[in-house]
Structure 1
Amino acid sequence: MAELAQSTPPLNNPPVMEQSDDKVISPWKDAWRSFKKNKLAMVGLGIVVFFILIAIFAPLLAPYSFSDQKLADKHLAPSGEHWFGTDEFGRDIFSRVLYGARISLWVGFVSVAGSVIVGSALGIIAGYYGKIVDGIISRIFDILLAFPSILLAIAVVSVLGPSLRNALIAIAIINVPIFGRLVRSRVLSVKEEEYITAAKAIGMKDSRILIHHVLPNSMAPIIVQGTLAIATAIIEAAALGFLGLGAQPPTPEWGKMLADSRDFIIQAPWTVIFPGLAIMLTVLGFNLMGDGLRDALDPRMKS
């Protein structure tokens, strides 16, 4: 009997379950893992990081000042002394392209940040409260979207006056309804979720619900659209600069550089090629990265 008792396991002790080696992965880590698998997205990220580093270290990388003029060296072809050649005032194009990265990226990031803040706030208010508030805000979005973006930007800059700061404000204004409608549509679906109803049932304030529940669940589309909007903002800033409504001389803005060199396309094509390539590569990088973020953050895009 003693041997039987020793061989029989006690009934009170629950069976030991083997622990799984699988760890819970946060949605953001899972998105980063999916993003890394997208080769084109990583190429885009590399291009964006490259231009950001150029913008940060432009004073160290530029061999000349962007405003130094030497008329005796005007329209020199690319060489070991001037890698990208010189413009009509003898200024080093390579140095101006490096400093131009600062201008274009600064306009892109700041204008989109302003659009995201204002547009998201209006979209959240419209989607969450609905009725009259939603109607008023939505009609404002419709009016802004009724104008072609570049024409609206030209109108805003014409009223405020041509300058880089006013061009930034104009670009921010034309992107507000894009983010506003995006966030509004997201809020309309999120506010019907059970956890929002539970939060209201326990007496949680609307402001806390919006900040802690609605906004975090709307971040994914905002990030994707924000990345793509930076590319669009860079193009719009270049377009305004090309028309003389953006950065003013001697600021080395890429669009303004193209405008100043359009009369010398045949005589000195390098004055147009290198600023144009800088715009193309920067926009391409943000577009590739935005597409990768969309695929990584949208559950419907995952197999």
Structure 2
Amino acid sequence: MKNWVIILLLFLFSFGYAQQNKELTLDSLKLELAKFLVKKKQLKNLELYTEKKQGLNFRGIHNFSTVEKLENGIYTFSNFSSHRLVFFLIVEDNTFHILDVFSIDDLKVSVDKTLEFCLKQKYCTEIISDYITRLFRAHYTENMTWKRNDSGCKFERKRTKSVFNLMKLKIKLANYFLNQKVIENINTDYLYESIFVEDLYSMYYGVDEEKEIDCGIYSFLYLHDDDYSENVYYVIVNEDWIEFIAIDSKQEISKSIQMIIDFSVNHKYCYLKTTQIIDKLLKMRETNSYLKNAAFKLP
């Protein structure tokens, strides 16, 4: 009797393991997506898909063509109606992860997972930026009603002023350089004249030295640094405090993008301006483009 119990337990364990490692096929994936749409009340019932093969629009996000074979990559899916939510999907090595972008919290999680996947796949900056922009656009357009539409991209919003003028900001930046051992002391002649500050939001207009500067994301550098063109730093200027952001590692760029999203939401940036800033950070992190000689296949 004891031996039969052991055999039964081994059988159940083997069955559970096999189920967890079941091969992900196009048909099995579509069925899971249809179930998800039913759960989200985007599909009336599952029979609409299983019996009539209707209600599911599933395409590659890059080529936007009908999917015939699953490849590692990012996809988009929805129902076929004109008033529908748009979702995204990461397929990686026999697993999948649905990216929901309806709420701002959903968007932040999806951006983070997309960035993690793209960096792991060694996608070029242009592709990463394009994918992140699509997530933002879906959140602010397709997944919002017209009453909540992001009109800030059409009509410039008045920016919020901080308590800092340029000199006050440079004093804080000088202390940052001191802590980072870029400079040895803050009493150097012409120190503050050697700190260059640029607004990533409106980089072509410069920063007024006399007036209180706008809240925003700024880049800055120390011109006497031998490698100053390579050593660019970034800071978020809020109403009365600043936050430094970094982009050197995967963890740092991920955290920085989350901080930028929070800032953009609080200051009512439109999604185009937000994604433009993120795009600049990504390009500063990786200046080489592999778009023309891509070594990866995109669905």
Higher strand share: 2
TM-score (norm 2): 0.22
Larger C-alpha radius of gyration, 1 or 2? 1
Q: 1 or 2, which has the higher helix percentage?
A: 1
TM-score (norm 1): 0.22
